[in-house]
Structure 1
Amino acid sequence: MEINYPTNLKAISIHAPFAYAICLGLKREEYRTQPTKRRGWVLVHASLSKASDEYFTTYNINPSTVKRGAIIGAVKINGCTGSVGNWAYQLDTPVLFEQPIEEVKGKQAIFWGANSQELQFAFTLASQQIAKFLNTKELS
């Protein structure tokens, strides 16, 4: 497979309940301690952490159906509001991938890129699923 993804594409690691809620369109903001000027598509990575698992019930998500350590979807960031230490990234156009890209290790950085051959492959697969979603949306 040819590696082909936008070079400015980044991913964000989020605890699984929130990652799935974002990709399902149930959560429209992601709160962070730092603001961002980033706009556009960001891949959503469901982290391995189970620290927030009690929130699955908040979003009515069955935890036995989720994938962890995987890029599960994408979302567009269209704004950032807030103040020092409490920033809300405004999200829209959520996509939950039909095929999560599994066995992807997340990063501590807020946004991280494809800095290895394995991640370049994963980002290419993710880009293809975003393109498929956009084609489907354009037809409806």
Structure 2
Amino acid sequence: MHINYPEKLKAVSVHPPFAYAIVRGLKKEEYRSQATNRKGWILIHASKSTASDEYFADYGIYPGSIKRGAIIGACKITGCRQDGFKDYAYQLAEAFEFKSPIDCAGSQSIFWGATNEQRKVVFTLASNQIREHLLK
């Protein structure tokens, strides 16, 4: 496989109910403890965590229909605003779910990249799905 993805492309790991709500356009903001100046495309990774599973029902998502531990889609960050004293709301747009989730271990850092050969392949596969989506 020819490795080909934008070098600045990053991923963010999100608990599965919220990750799927983002890529399905049901959640327009992601709350984090740190502000970001990042804008543009990011990959959405559904973590393996089950800590927030009670929120699936809030979004009308059936937990048995989802994939954990995978990059499941992408969206654009269009801005960041402070929400209260400690939280920042990353504003999200143009979200879409990949036709095929891509298995990948996540990371604890807010934004993570293709730091090894496996992730370079994953980011290339994800970039291909973004390109296909934009051609529609």
| TM-score, length-scaled by structure 1 | 0.95
Across the aligned residues of Structure 1 and Structure 2, the Cα RMSD in angstroms comes to 0.7
Residue 128 of structure 1 aligns to a residue whose secondary structure is helix
Residue 125 of structure 1 aligns to a residue whose secondary structure is helix
Q: Deviations over 1:58-100 (max 9, x none)?
A: 0000100100000000010000001542100000000100000
Structure 1 range deviating more: 79-88 or 16-25: 79-88
Cα distance in structure 1, aligned partners of 2:86 and 2:113? 24
Cα distance in structure 2, aligned partners of 1:18 and 1:134? 23
Q: Give the aligned partner of residue 53 of structure 1.
A: 53
Residue 58 of structure 1 aligns to a residue whose secondary structure is helix
Q: Give the aligned partner of residue 10 of structure 2.
A: 10
Task: Please list, as runs of the form range in 1=range in 2, the aligned pairs for 1:61-100 lying within 5 A after superposition.
Answer: 61-82=61-82, 84-100=85-101
2:129 counterpart letter in structure 1: Q
Q: Give the aligned partner of residue 128 of structure 2.
A: 128
1:50 counterpart letter in structure 2: T
Runs of 4+ in 1 over 2 A off after TM superposition: none
Question: Mind listing any 5+ residue stretches in structure 2 that lack a counterpart?
Answer: none
Cα distance in structure 2, aligned partners of 1:55 and 1:135? 33
- How many residues of Structure 1 are paired with residues of Structure 2 in the alignment? 135
| TM-score, length-scaled by structure 2 | 0.98
In percent, how many aligned pairs have the same letter? 56
